[in-house]
Amino acid sequence: MKEISRRDFVKASGALVVCFSAAELLHPFAQAQGPFDTHPSHIDPEKLDSWLAVGSDGVVTAYTGKCDFGQGMYTVQTQLVAEELCVPIGKVKLVQCDTSVTPDQGTTSGSQSTPTNFNARNLAQAAATAREALAAMAAQKLSVPADQLTIENGVVSAKNGRHVSYGELVGGRHFEITLNPAAKRRLPSEWKVLGKPIPSVDRTALMTGSFEFVHNVQTPGMVHGRVVRPPEIGAAVASVDEESVRNIPGLLKVVVRKNFIGVVAEKQWQAAQAAKMLKVTWNPGSGLPPQKDFYDYLRKQPSRDVMVVNSKDVDDKLKSATRVLKATYVHPYQAHGSIGASCAVADVRADRATIWSATQSVYPTQHGVSTLTGLPLDNVRVIFVRGAGCYGLNAADTVTYDAALLSQAVGRPVRVQLTRHDEFISENYGAACVIEQQAAVAANGAIDAWHCETWTASHGGRPDYNHPGNVITGMLAGFEPETITAQAAVEPIGELHNRNNAVPSYLAGCVDGKCGGAGTIRSERVLTHTVNSPFFTGPLRSPVRLQNTFAHECFMDEISAHIKADPVAYRLQHLRDTRVSDVVKAAAKAANWDARPSPKASSARSGTVTGRGIACVAYEGDNGYAALVAEVEVDQSTGAVQPRRFVVAHDCGPISNPDGVRNQIEGGVLQGTSRALGEEITWDEHSVTSTDWESYHSLSLGFPVPAIDCVLIDRPDAKAAGAGETAITLSAAAIGNAIFDATGARLREVPFTPARVKVALAAREGGHTA
Amino acid sequence: MPGISLKVNGHVHTVDVDPETPLLYVLSDELHLRGPKFGCGLAQCGSCTVLVQGQPERSCVLPVSAVKQREVTTLEGLGTLEKPHAIQQAFIDEGAAQCGFCLSGVILTAKVLIDENPKASDEQIRESMSSILCRCFAHGRMVRAIKRYQRSRA
């Protein structure tokens, strides 16, 4: 066995990310070894030593390509390793997302971290492989068959009392074996660490201000950069007057690369002053379509179309039905709006680069930085350091590119801090959507056919490995964003793909004779149109799934109201997937659901009234299940909506950490509430006008927080599923349905601002009497 | 340029900066403190909050020269990893964070409110916290933590 050098390397540089020494970059880059998830990396995921190392003190260092942004992945992956290896949680040290030491697990996104590292492969399988290998070594050492040994706290013991510790067996040496796909995972019934509400391990450091965020990274010789973004969408640089900032003390350089402009100064305040005072002449931008007609504009654009499901009898059913319901729902662009404007530190030298970044994708970012700087891929090291919560794709990637470009220009480490304005005017917003629904209702009240057609605005997105132009800095520096090419839909083949939740839960989802949907409705057609967006877009938490679910779940409510059915019973009548119906039943039970049709007959047409609404989802078809009951109060004189209580029933398979899941659910429901009640990107003819927290409305800590009750359904035998995007998917729908229940007014446009609520109230049948 | 003298978390520092420099940049870049953070730079979110002579201030818009002899306390000046302050312990006990970036504003603002008015009503707590944002929306846990601290002071 060879001595472990990588562990020492991590000890020297991984934990204290500021202590990078140039020597490290010269050696650890071997040739790429085979495909893994999305891309080959030099760290071979088939080798156990790529995932785990055991020190002579018994401390287990684990390497993961899935990182923690505050969603709890650090804690839960630590639990996973401790569980599979039978060591106390305090004996596990997790190293996250560093292109020099962790395997390439692509991007931490899409509620895929738990499925990726807890299901069949990867981190969990590595830990199980290690446990079995250690047991086999102990069997040899103790001359006892492995199946007669017990393992506890990193010590392997025989019945005769002899024992040996992990540190004694392998401490400080490589395992030199490959991952064993047959290594037995510990069963949920055996769990001692997983499944427990372990407090998040970063908690005390966060509360006492000692936790290191990327904003806190300091490197020797570091200077400060700021950027100057185009004032209008599509504006190009005509000229830059460097004389205008000549008198700023400490200014090191004005950097211009095509339409990218940045300044570098010794101190942050100097850089901020220079960015503010630099005179740039811009050619006019491309102009923007008027916001007031934007949803109509969206529907008229050339589009890339996908027919998700098509039973081919929907038009006939809609024509012949006695009752056909139609409704159109719209959802605005919304911001990730991280609380901390994004920041990154880059040290780009002539032959190599080291990057400290809050990116969700260290390996793709390594590729992006390599492309932008022209440095060989293997000479770029990207080290993840946590930033403010990102919820999808905030400006972490783009500010990383900013820092790399500015550092390369000055040959020194540069820290770039974006301003709130920089980030708000050009982040990758959650997509604006139009969703049109039609349903035919049979004589017996059941839904006979359902047609859904969606229009989604898209432009750029994650830069991934090959598209640095998908975020603003890459585009400004001359790389093209991915655009949408118009393409007609073809008939679906193979199996149902419902990753975007374009297919409502009530449809059978039949493709090629196999029905992968959660529901019973067999006359079904779902057609999606993706059109070019004037703004960058990105996967804001529950991307498009939230928008689609808002429309599906509100429309389901409209149908049940039309036939005067109870919304819970009517949903259950059209559901086939028991994991969806189970969360609906559990939420209704916990909320003490008042079973009756909506709207509430006793509600007055004026004053403050209350109502309840429900919504449910099979997230991405099969990646987590949730139902939400919202109870709201509506002040009909002002149009103000105040949620009073939320009840969530949630099923993400086996629960790794109940406290972590609850934290995600509570935060998700409330973030969804903020998005439902106030969040909307606004613009004029040339540029975005929601540029700060006064013009973009996020619910503050002064918001009366409703009670949020969580019912967690544990399914130890199911596959692990995501829990970060389920609950948020339901807030707008459940609140919208509750407003209808309270008032009889239907909100089909998010956010439900008081002004929009008042318009909906005035449009009620029988007129407005408030 | 003569240095500017500052008392932060009980220690006196002299820094050589433009007097107009926001206090936040001095705390972060010169004194390497991690508690106060750049959230918006507009005094709209609270992430940069520090206590100046015991009162919450937004350090992103406060020129360092305006601090003068007044004592500055940051989140790390309240308690330590080993011995968190009672309000920090209340937040730990309630698990009242996700990413934790906003905590300086949340914890320091709440501390001053409860210390000055231990019997603050829910309405008064909301009023005091109404200019603070948490984008992970850990609001429920944070309110519970504030009330836990309030109970510990009763």
DSSP string, A636-658: TTTTEEEEEEEEEEEE-SS-S-H
Query: Residue type at A7?
Result: R
**Of A32-46, A262-276, A423-437, minimum mean pLDDT range:** A32-46
Dist. CA A425–CA A682, nearest whole Å: 10
DSSP A749: B
Could you tell me the CA-to-CA distances from A38 to A363, A465, A664 in Å, in that order?
10, 9, 27
Answer whether B97 touches A (CB < 8 Å): yes
In this prediction, residues A187-215 reach a mean pLDDT of 95
Chain B residues with CB-CB distance to A419 below 8 A:
41
B29 touches chain A (CB under 8 A): yes
d(CA A270, CA A285): 29
Alpha-helical (H) ranges within A411-524 are 420-426, 472-476
Antiparallel, parallel or unpaired: β A150-152 and A414-417: unpaired
Neighbours of A441 (CB within 10 A): 18
Task: Please count the residue pairs, one from chain A and one from chain B, whose beta carbons lie less than 8 angstroms apart.
Answer: 196
**Contact indicator for A415, A217 with CB cutoff of 8 Å:** yes
Binary contact (A206, B103; C-beta < 8 A): yes
- Separation of alpha carbons A723 and A713, rounded Å: 12
- Interface residue A19 vs chain B (CB under 8 A): no
Contact status, residue A59 vs residue A11, Cβ threshold 8 Å: no
Contact B92 A268 (CB under 8 A): no
Are A338 and B47 an interchain contact pair (Cβ–Cβ within 8 Å)? no
d(CA A87, CA B94): 26
The domain limits of chain A are 6-205, 214-285+336-426, 433-762
Please state which of the four CATH numbers 3.40.50.1240, 1.10.1380.10, 3.30.360.10, 3.30.365.10 is assigned to the domain occupying A433-762: 3.30.365.10
Please state, as a whole number, how many other Cβ atoms lie within 10 Å of the Cβ of residue A603.
Answer: 18
Looking at CA atoms only, how far is residue A504 from chain B in angstroms?
A: 28
Q: Up-side HSE of residue A323: CA atoms within 13 Å toward CB?
A: 13
A611 contacts A598 by C-beta, under 8 angstroms: yes
Instruction: Report whether pLDDT(A769) > 70.
Output: no
Domains A6-205 and A433-762 share a fold: yes
Q: Which amino acid is at A148?
A: Q
CA dihedral angle for residue A560, residue A562, residue A566, residue A567, rounded to 10 degrees: 30
> Given an 8 Å threshold on Cβ–Cβ distance, is B40 in contact with A420?
yes
Q: pLDDT higher for A108 or A591?
A: A591
Instruction: State if pTM tops 0.80.
Output: yes
User: How do beta strands A223-227 and A414-417 pair?
Assistant: parallel
Q: Does B106 touch chain A (CB under 8 A)?
A: yes
Q: Are A565 and A325 in contact (CB under 8 A)?
A: no
Give chain A positions within 8 Å (CB) of B31: none
CATH of domain A214-285+336-426: 3.30.365.10
Averaged pLDDT for residues A223-227: 98
SS3 call for A478:
coil
- Closest Cβ–Cβ partner in A224, A666, A701 for B130: A701
Give yes or no for B8 touching A (CB within 8 A).
Answer: no
**pLDDT tier, A40 (very low <50, low <70, confident <90, very high otherwise):** low
Query: Among partner residues B21, B34, B39, which is closest to A339 by beta-carbon distance?
Result: B39
Note the ipTM here: 0.98
Report how far apart the first and last C-alpha atoms of chain B are (Å, whole number).
49
Distance CA B123, CA B106 (A): 16
Specify the pLDDT at position A109.
77
A372 has pLDDT over 60: yes
Sign of CA dihedral A597, A602, A605, A610: negative
Best CA proximity match to A615, nearest among A733, A528, A760, A534: A733
Assess A218–B contact: CB distance below 8 Å, yes or no: yes
At position A294, the amino acid (one-letter code) is: F
CB-based contact, A31 to chain B, within 8 Å: no
Measured between alpha carbons, how far is B109 from B117 in angstroms, rounded to an integer? Answer: 12
The whole-number average pLDDT for the span A561-578 is 98
Task: With H, G, I as helix, E, B as strand and everything else as coil, classify residue A135.
Answer: helix
Task: Report how far residue A80's alpha carbon sits from residue A89's, in angstroms, rounded to the nearest whole number.
Answer: 9
Q: Could you please report the per-residue DSSP string of A173-242?
A: B----B--TTPPPPPGGG-SSTTS-PPPTTHHHHHTT----GGG---TT-EEEEE---SSTT-EEEEEEG
Give the pLDDT score at A108: 80
Selection from A132, A170, A123 nearest residue A151 by Cα: A132
Shortest Cα distance, chain B CAs vs residue A208, angstroms:
5
The C-alpha of B56 sits at a distance from chain A's nearest C-alpha, in angstroms, of: 16
Contacts of A388 in chain B (CB under 8 A): 37, 39, 99, 101-102, 135
Instruction: Determine whether the interchain pair B33/A209 forms a contact, defined as Cβ–Cβ distance below 8 Å.
Output: yes
Characterize the bridge pairing of strands A707-713 and A353-357.
unpaired
Would the pLDDT of A13 be above 60? no
Q: Is B20 on the interface with A (CB under 8 A)?
A: yes
A249 reaches B (C-beta below 8 A):
yes
Our CA-based measurement puts residue B86 at a distance from the nearest CA of chain A, in whole angstroms, of 11
Q: Do B81 and A338 touch (CB under 8 A)?
A: no
What does pLDDT average to over chain A?
Answer: 92
B154 touches chain A (CB under 8 A): no
- Residue A209 near chain B (CB below 8 Å): yes
Residues 110-129 of chain B whose Cβ lies under 8 A from any Cβ of chain A: 122, 126-129
A700 touches B: beta carbon within 8 Å:
yes
pLDDT tens for each residue of B61-76: 999 999 989 999 999 9
With 50 as the cut, is the pLDDT of residue A451 above it? yes
pLDDT band of residue A562 (cuts 50, 70, 90) is: very high
Nearest CA in chain B to A211: B34
Write down how long chain B is: 154
Q: Is some CB atom of chain A closer than 8 A to the CB atom of B1?
A: no
Reply yes or no on whether the pLDDT at A598 is more than 70: yes
Q: Report the alpha-carbon distance of residue A520 to residue A463 in Å, rounded.
A: 39
The answer to whether A653 and A763 have CB atoms below 8 angstroms apart is: no
Nearest CB neighbour to A71, from listed B76, B98, B102: B98
Task: Give per-residue pLDDT as tens, B108-138.
Answer: 999 999 999 999 999 999 999 999 999 999 9
Residue A116 pLDDT more than 80?
A: no
pLDDT at residue number A630: 98
Does residue A708 sit at the B interface (CB-CB below 8 Å)? Answer: yes
Whether the per-residue pLDDT at A23 is higher than 80: the answer is no
Helix %, strand %, coil % of chain A (to 5)? 30, 25, 45
Tell me the average pLDDT across A495-508: 97
CA dist A678 and A218 (Å) reads 37
Helix (H, G, I), strand (E, B) or coil at A528: strand
Residue A709, chain B, CB below 8 Å: the answer is: no
A692 in B contact zone (CB under 8 Å): yes
Contact yes or no for A693 and B104 at CB 8 A: no
Min distance A416 CA to chain B CA atoms (Å): 12
- pLDDT band at A41; cut points 50, 70, 90: low
Number of other CB atoms surrounding residue A438 within 10 Å: 21
Q: What is the mean pLDDT of residues A398-416?
A: 98
Q: For the sheet containing A92-96, what is the strand order?
A: A52-54, A60-64, A92-96
> What integer pLDDT is reported at residue B38 of this predicted model?
98
Distance (Å, rounded) from C-alpha A213 to C-alpha B111? 23
Please write the tens of the pLDDT for every residue from A280-289: 999 999 999 9
Which residue from B32, B97, B128 is facing A206, i.e. has the nearest CB? B97
Pairwise CB contact (< 8 Å): A218 & B32: yes
Are residues B98 and A388, on separate chains, in Cβ contact within 8 Å?
no
Residue A714: count other Cβ atoms within 10 Å of its Cβ: 16
CA distance B63 to chain A (A): 11
User: What's the token pair of residue A30?
Assistant: 């071997």
A684-741 pLDDT tens trace: 999 999 999 999 999 999 999 999 999 999 999 999 899 999 999 999 999 999 999 9
Measure the CA–CA gap between B93 and A127, rounded to whole angstroms.
30
- Separation of alpha carbons A338 and A428, rounded Å: 12
B79 has a chain A CB within 8 A of its CB: yes
Residue-wise DSSP of A320-356: H-SEEEEEEEEE--B----SSPPEEEEEE-SS-EEEE
Using CB atoms, pick whichever of A208, A218, A268 lies closest to residue B84. A208
Q: List the structure tokens of A363.
A: 């390996």
DSSP alpha helix (H) spans, A529-605: 545-562, 567-573, 578-590
Give the pLDDT of residue A120.
60
Q: What angle do CA A580, A581, A584 make, to 5 degrees?
A: 90
Q: Identify the pLDDT of residue A230.
A: 97
Query: What is the CATH number that goes with domain A6-205?
Result: 3.30.365.10
Mean pLDDT, to the nearest integer, of A206-220? 97
Chain B residues near residue A676 by CB distance under 8 angstroms: none
B48 in contact with A, Cβ within 8 Å: no
Within 8 A by CB and 6+ apart from A327, the residues are A436, A437, A554, A555, A558, A746, A748
Residue A94 CB-half CA count within 13 A: 25
Across the interface, do B131 and A700 touch by the CB < 8 Å criterion?
yes
Q: B37: which chain A residues are within 8 Å (Cβ-Cβ)?
A: 213, 215, 340, 388
CA distance B88 to A206: 9
Nearest CA in chain A to B125: A702
Q: What structural domains does chain B harbor? A: 4-77 (3.10.20.30), 86-153 (1.10.150.120)
Nearest to A41 by CA among A108, A98, A124, A112: A98
Asked if A267 and B79 come within 8 Å (Cβ–Cβ), the reply is no
**Contact flag A693-B78 (C-beta cutoff 8 Å):** no
Predicted confidence band of residue A584 (pLDDT cuts 50, 70, 90): very high
Identify the closest residue of chain B to A416 by CA–CA distance: B38
Nearest-Cα distance to chain A for B154, in Å, is 22
Q: Taking residues A199-215, what's their average pLDDT? A: 96
* Residues A614, A587 contacting (CB under 8 angstroms): yes
Q: How far is B70 from chain A, CA to nearest CA, in Å?
A: 21
Name the strands in the sheet holding A414-417, side by side, starting at the edge strand that comes first in the sequence: A251-257, A260-265, A223-227, A414-417, A343-348, A353-357, A380-384
Residues of chain B with pLDDT > 70, as a percent, come to 99
